[in-house]
Structure 1
């Protein structure tokens, strides 16, 4: 487990065009009740916020997730980053994994998902990225939306109409993912750009949360939490209370204000 950054109650970023974005955030991770080691890692350091869920055995999974967030954290402190920087960080993380001899014969790997503050067509934008089945959600005006699409066997079955979304949550292959960072392969993230708007709350989480809470439960705690740290704490506690079968990591980011240049 690697934790880079923590919470910030008020952080203002000045973008290259003079616009400012004020935000707050909080991050919490827990090993859960059934795991001996926490293989989740996160980076919460503007302009990048990401969660990685390692796999491949205790040592391998922990190292893989740490490699990813460590590389992403190298861009911390910049006002914005773009998809080329994210691509480079993931590519270098895979190289870091390959340099470690003796972790496992098959290699190591991890999911990764997150958001990065960037610009699209001169406007502030969140660059949402993911590989695997960790997720990003957006809450605006009380409406919760999942921004990422799982790279998993059950998601492919849902897309093909062979099972329902509810059936996917209890499917025996729910842990089988179809894309990862590592295992000696080039990382291929999905990207999505969304506007940076005041009043937006973003949730970045490992599947240890979504295994235990439905979207209705997630929305309940995101709406009820007055501050990011309260919402993050309540989400993790609820996941543990519902079984805590896996490592659970939660990162909540609030956009407090956006001011554009005159």
Structure 2
């Protein structure tokens, strides 16, 4: 069963000196990678993630195992790269891909770190990923509230990333292909500046994906954009 897709992507440097975010918007994979660690190091780490995922494009679908293997390869390449560079580097990743696990197309939602995937469906915005972060662990344990998390001093510390720490597997969940709607993948540069309710407002419009992602990046930039901001939307 073919799935009719339209998509858009936008990025901005924000107040940072350079843009270490990278993105992929090429069927059947749509993803955002947020590099970290040194100027060239973070960008190179994110590029390795996107290059690995790009190898899965060109067909109508990919597979969950192919996504895992691609991200394992990226993880290893980043570690090899940082073995040669002082200071180390790593990258988050979040995205969706059309996969076929033998029963026709499904959506695979995958992520490592605090980049996020949202779904807009039947008039409701749902966050499909759970941040791999210190603050999220504090929320889950009941120590702090969602409201407190927005200003918590440890809000930028992540607990899982590609290329650093223990070898990390992505969280992957499968969703059926249903009706019309949007998936939105973004770096934390968006969610640090723009609330979920505000993101939902942009998705209620009848504007196409190109306009929505451009408007979201502009909104984050107008709010100060303390970090790089990248958004990929697929309808």
Provide structure 1 residue ranges, at least 5 long, that are not aligned to the other structure. Answer: 1-18, 255-262
Alignment partner of 1:219 is 2:184:
no
How far apart, in 2, do the equivalents of 1:192 and 1:150 lie? 14
Are positions 1:137 and 2:137 aligned together?
Answer: no
Gaps of 5+ in 2: none
TM-score, structure 2 as length reference: 0.96
Deviation of 1:100 (Å): 2.7
Instruction: For 1:1-262, list aligned pairs within 5 A.
Output: 19-32=1-14, 34-100=15-81, 104-120=85-101, 122-183=103-164, 185-254=166-235
Distance in 2, Cα, partners of 1:77 & 1:253: 16
* DSSP-derived class of the 2:125 partner: strand
Is the contact between residue 38 and residue 87 of structure 2 (CA under 8 Å) also seen in structure 1? no
Supply the distance in 2 between the matched residues of 1:222 and 1:29 (Cα, whole angstroms): 18
CA contact (8 A) 1:151 1:177 kept: yes
Q: TM-score, normalised to structure 1's length?
A: 0.86
**Structure 1 SS opposite 2:193:** coil
CA RMSD of aligned residues (A): 1.4
Q: How many residues align?
A: 235
Rounded Cα–Cα distance in structure 2 between residues aligned with 1:189 and 1:102: 22
Q: What is the DSSP-based 3-state SS (H/G/I as helix, E as strand, rest coil) of the residue aligned with 2:175? A: strand
Q: Offset of 1:99 from its aligned partner? A: 3.2
Given that 2:120 and 2:181 are in contact with CA atoms closer than 8 Å, whether structure 1 keeps it comes out as: yes
Q: 1:242 to 1:228 in 2, by over 3 A?
A: same
8 Å CA contact 1:94, 1:184 repeated in 2: no
* Structure 1 residue 53, shift from structure 2 partner: 0.3
